Amino acid sequence: MRSLDFVIVGFGIAGATIARELVQRGHRILVIDSNVHKATAIAGGTIHPAVLRYYNQVWRADEFWPKAKTFYQNWEQELEIPLITTNGLIRVFDTKEESELWCEKRVDKFWGQYLRPLSDVKEQELTHLNTPHGYGISEDFWRFDPKLLLDTYRQRLTDEGQYLNIELAFNSEHTLNDALADFGVKAKHVILAQGYQQTYWPGLIHGNPIQAKKGQYMIIECPGLKLSKVVKSKFFIIPIGQDYYQVGATYPRQDQPNHIKESQNKIVADLDGLLKMHYRIVDYWDGVRPTTKDRKPILGRMDPQSDVYV
């Protein structure tokens, strides 16, 4: 029987992050994952301390933002990969009022360090974009490659004997421990990081607090566009290399096929109004991500009598 400090079930961004942290602290760990239905792998990967559509500051952004930048930059160096792919955001305004709001927000200390003053000089890379109401730029915004991160770190853990590609079936702490024992594993603590697929919630009476939300991106090819920053209009346009861009995301209902088509049409309509160039639709990426009603994380041990964490 292999004795461990922690077993982590699930390997999206949450599972990978906690695995790295525990490894750095010298704990004996094992990640168990089925490697299917990944929300992280198709995510946009944008990292920023605010939602610019409504100018909402991300929860505890003042604390998290400086740590997030350092965390991902260090991870990039450890794995020796070009993880951070894009720096900067261009926010294309839909109305004159949006540009005025940008200027008003800059008076605030938080926004002042985040939003660049508006300029009448058009950026060279925006030559092929329609911007009748102007645009704003934020340098404090970047994008990492989620799939590259997971694939590279999974291989690192596999090489160290810390990753197991299996699917566990359990509905209680007892059956969870039995399932681990079947694979010759015993752990002091188990961390569940399964996202919307998680079915066992220790200590919760009212069941699953996670809501599954479908996200869909369109992949386009647009030679000559040459964007170096992420563009945000109604949707994100994210450079992913070699004249390809990830556009979205929309959130159609999973059980309504016509809603999916409507969502795709919305992306096309936005692109047709924004781009002055021809583009080609290459693919659609979709996945289901976990979300909560208050958009705050669920973290810790919910049942004081249990050694299972979420």
DSSP state of 68: H
Same domain, 244 and 299: no
Same domain, 223 and 133: yes
Same domain, 7 and 122: no
Asked whether residue 275 is assigned to any structural domain, the reply reads yes
Give me the residue label for tokens 């944008």: 46
Give me the residue label for tokens 């992420």: 230
- What confidence tens digit (pLDDT) does each residue in 112-130 have? 888 999 987 777 788 899 9
Asked whether residue 19 is assigned to any structural domain, the reply reads yes
| Total domains in the fold of the chain | 2
Q: pTM of the entire structure?
A: 0.88
How far apart, in whole angstroms, are the C-alpha atoms of residue 93 and residue 105? 14
Angle at 233 between CA 124 and CA 273, to 5 degrees: 80
CATH at 169: 3.40.50
Which residues, 6+ apart, have CB-to-CB distance to 294 below 8 Å? Answer: none
Range of the domain at 151: 2-42+147-209+295-309
- What confidence tens digit (pLDDT) does each residue in 132-183 have? 999 999 988 888 899 899 999 999 999 999 999 999 999 999 999 999 999 9
Q: Which residue has the higher pLDDT, 38 or 245?
A: 245
DSSP state of 304: T
How far apart, in whole angstroms, are the C-alpha atoms of residue 257 and residue 265? 13
Q: What confidence score (pLDDT) does residue 24 get?
A: 95
